[in-house]
């Protein structure tokens, strides 16, 4: 049995757990966090915070053969990036650890012994070859493959004889009829008698590692978990878990199963889709709160306001407004266009705060330097970046879009270009005209520039070609007037002055 001091600690924590909500996110480090996993973690976190409870992270690494190196660390990084705070877990403290299943094997062994003692589990010596024959025979006769519970009927003498020969074996749990319906927090009453469709499940493998179902139940009980919120694909296994709780004589937590996340066309999200990993969204440049709002927009949990303007809610606003009763029980469709809208909203929101605005400017500076590492002549002044951000917030989805080759003129100053197609007098008048324009919008700019070209008897297309070269050094891209609008009046004048011939500069200085 567990040591006395640890048992007392667990009992004290369990007594406290009945007065405090305790939820957990328990991923397997066999891959990276994706939208479905983020949704599960997020809803657990929102539920706990709404009720003043605790959010635990537990790493379920019992499937040692499928572990991906570094997956646990990346998973934690993605959760924190999304704004999900971990109260207990590996590296975050907590009195009921360790929170990594591979470090809890002694606990599982003692729990298995308890089931063997009370007769609800037994040793199974069936070889892999026999199990494979059972599977093939079931498929041949169009039956669902299931274990035939043969070893459940071994006598104690037969078990002792096989153990004496060191025959490899696993431990199986005896399934019984379960007539009571599951009271699902989201789906209501759910009836499923697992013993009708399955044979006795393995709870401890021959390598002495527990299976998911067994470790899950033991850990949830010993960690004082009060509510289990997980994907609906686990709903069919919950009866099995309830039978395990009954075998131990433990009070089960309350269960709620989250509906499937599906694509806009109704097809199921798949981990094999390269574009649903959280790392993918981060690398593309989506902001965390935009992604979090995107996920909850599909799954419900909030009061629906008809014709309400799209909002970007903070994590605090989300958990204050969250209600488990409002979570949808039908598949949750994701709309990628909504994510783009939310990301634009987050850019606008970040521009409105001094601290977040400064961070945004630094992020743009970093992105541009990465995009043009060989360019020493970059225009990265804070005022210029803010002008660009205010322009782009209504047009672009991602900050990374600002690195597009068509927008390189924003950052890369033309070098060694001199305007030769206009006289010194024309250039001076043009600078005065641009400086006097109050409404620095492309439509107004086009009207003024055309009028100027007619008045000065200059071919308009040639003049615009000259201005494009002076402003960007590019032969193509946005229209010249739009380019001027994006750059703003100050940068436009600055670049035109830098492209003036020496005699024009002398003239302009003496006017």
Region of 122 (left: φ > 0; alpha: ψ -120 to 50; beta: rest) is beta
* Buried-state track 140-166, b at ≥16 Cβ within 10 A, e below 16: eeeeeeebeeebbebeeeebeebeeee
* Beta pairing, strands 121-124 & 54-57: unpaired
Q: Which of 126, 143, 25 is nearest to 78 (CA)?
A: 25
What's the CA gap between 383 and 387, in Å, rounded?
6
- Max CA separation in the chain (angstroms): 112
Half-sphere exposure of residue 424: CA atoms within 13 angstroms, side-chain side: 11
* Buried-state track 420-442, b at ≥16 Cβ within 10 A, e below 16: eebebebbbebbebbeebeebeb
What's the CA gap between 368 and 384, in Å, rounded?
13
* Residue from 205, 254, 271, 450 carrying the catalytic annotation: 271
Q: E strands, 263-376, where?
A: 332-333
The answer to whether 86 and 79 are in contact (CB under 8 A) is: yes
Helix ranges restricted to H, 328-421: 336-351, 354-371, 382-392
What's the CA gap between 507 and 509, in Å, rounded?
5
What's the CA gap between 31 and 488, in Å, rounded?
46
Sole residue written with tokens 């193509």: 476
271 is catalytic: yes
Region of 94 (left: φ > 0; alpha: ψ -120 to 50; beta: rest) is left
What's the CA gap between 302 and 322, in Å, rounded?
5
| Percent helix, percent strand, percent coil in the chain, to nearest 5 | 55, 10, 35
By annotation, the residues acting in catalysis are 271
């Amino acid at each position: 049995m567990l040591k006395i001091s640890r048992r007392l600690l667990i009992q004290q924590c369990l007594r406290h757990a009945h007065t405090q909500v305790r939820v957990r996110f328990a991923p397997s480090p066999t891959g990276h966090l994706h939208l479905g996993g983020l949704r599960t973690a997020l809803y657990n976190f929102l539920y706990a915070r709404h009720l003043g409870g605790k959010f635990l992270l537990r790493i379920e690494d019992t499937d040692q053969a499928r572990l991906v190196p570094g997956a646990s660390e990346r998973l934690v990084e993605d959760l924190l990036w999304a704004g999900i705070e971990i109260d207990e877990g590996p590296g975050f403290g907590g009195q009921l650890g360790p929170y990594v299943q591979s470090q809890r094997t002694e606990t599982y062994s003692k729990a298995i012994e308890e089931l063997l003692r009370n007769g609800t589990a037994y040793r199974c010596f069936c070889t892999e070859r026999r199990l494979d024959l059972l599977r093939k025979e079931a498929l041949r006769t169009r039956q669902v493959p299931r274990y035939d519970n043969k070893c459940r009927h071994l006598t104690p003498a037969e078990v002792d004889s096989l153990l004496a020969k060191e025959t490899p074996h696993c431990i199986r749990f005896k399934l019984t009829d379960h007539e009571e319906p599951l009271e699902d927090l989201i789906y209501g009453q759910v009836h499923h008698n697992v013993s009708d469709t399955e044979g006795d499940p393995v709870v401890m493998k021959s390598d002495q590692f527990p299976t998911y179902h067994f470790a899950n139940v033991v850990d949830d009980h010993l960690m004082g978990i009060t509510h289990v919120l997980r994907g609906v694909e686990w709903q069919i296994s919950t009866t099995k878990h309830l039978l395990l709780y009954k075998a131990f004589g433990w009070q089960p937590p309350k269960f709620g199963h989250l509906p499937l996340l599906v694509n806009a066309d109704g097809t199921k999200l798949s981990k094999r889709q390269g574009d649903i990993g959280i790392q993918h969204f981060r690398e593309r440049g989506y902001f965390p709160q935009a992604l979090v709002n995107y996920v909850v927009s599909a799954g419900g949990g909030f009061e629906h306001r008809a014709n309400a303007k799209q909002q970007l809610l903070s994590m605090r606003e989300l958990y204050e407004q969250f209600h488990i009763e409002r979570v949808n029980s039908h598949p949750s469709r994701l709309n990628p266009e909504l994510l783009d809208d939310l990301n634009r909203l987050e850019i606008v929101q970040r521009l409105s705060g001094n601290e977040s605005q400064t961070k945004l400017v630094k992020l743009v500076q970093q992105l541009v330097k990465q995009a043009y590492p060989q360019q020493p002549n970059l225009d990265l002044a804070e005022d210029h970046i803010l002008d660009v951000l205010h322009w782009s917030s209504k047009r672009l989805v991602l900050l990374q879009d600002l690195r597009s080759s068509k927008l390189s003129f924003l950052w890369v100053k033309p070098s060694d270009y001199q305007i030769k197609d206009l006289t010194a007098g024309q250039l001076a008048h043009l600078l005065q005209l641009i400086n006097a324009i109050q409404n620095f919008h492309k439509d107004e700019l086009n009207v003024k520039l055309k009028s100027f070209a007619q008045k000065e008897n200059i071919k308009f297309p040639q003049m615009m070609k000259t201005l494009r070269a002076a402003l960007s050094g590019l032969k193509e891209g946005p229209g010249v007037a739009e380019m001027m609008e994006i750059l703003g009046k100050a940068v436009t004048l600055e670049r035109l002055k830098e492209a003036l011939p020496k005699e024009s500069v002398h003239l302009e200085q003496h006017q």
